[in-house]
Amino acid sequence: MALNTQPNLERPDDFYEALIDMHRDLDDVQSQSANAQLILLLANHIGDHATLLEAMRYAHEGAADTSPRGGEAHPLAA
């Protein structure tokens, strides 16, 4: 099972709002905990190891990558 990165959310804007809302009334430490718990819950739901590894790879690349997307600087970048 490959990771699905095509649009798949039933209600994308509602989901995003709920995700941000989840952190309401939480301090930074609690927010970190909530994020971690959310990842663990979703990972268990997915279950498939290869899919999880693929998602982790994209997440890591996304965080570590500081070069501009597509190798070209944005026209407005200084």
Partner 1 sequence: MSTNYQTLSFEYKPCREQSERGGADQAAYPVIVVGAGPVGLATAIDLAQQGVPVVLVDDDCSLSAGSRAICFSKRSLDIFDRLGCGQRMVDKGISWNVGKVFLKDELVYTFNLQPEAGHNRPAFINLQQYYVEGFLLERAQEMPNIEIRWKSKVVGVAQNGAPAARDAGVTLTIDTPDGPYDLRGRYVVAADGSRSPIRNLLGLDSKGVTFKDRFLIADVKMEADFPTERWFWFDPPFHPNQSVLLHRQPDNVWRIDFQLGWDADPVLEKTPERVIPRVRALLGPDAKFELEWVSVYTFSCLRMERFRHGNVLFAGDSAHGVSPFGARGANSGVQDAENLAWKLAMVLEGKAPDTLLDTYASEREFAADENIRNSTRSTDFITPKSPVSRVFRDAVLKLSRHHPFARQLTNSGRLSVPAVLRDSPLNTADSDSFEGAMVPGASCVDAPVQQEGQPAWLLQQLGQQFTGVLFRGEQGIDHATQAALDALQASPIPLKLVVVTSGNAKAASSTGVQIVHDAEGLASARYDAKPGTFYLIRPDQHVCARWRQVDVNAVAHALKRALCVEGTA
**Binding site residues, partner 1, CB under 8 A:** 32-33, 36-37, 39-41, 44
Spatial neighbors of 38 by CB under 8 A, at least 6 apart, are: 22
Smaller CB separation from partner 1, 63 or 78: 63
Residue 9 Cβ, how far from partner 1 at the closest point, in Å?
23
**Closest alpha carbon to 23 in 11, 35, 12:** 35
Smaller CB separation from partner 1, 63 or 77: 63
Residue 70 Cβ, how far from partner 1 at the closest point, in Å?
29
Q: CA 36 from chain center: how many Å? A: 12
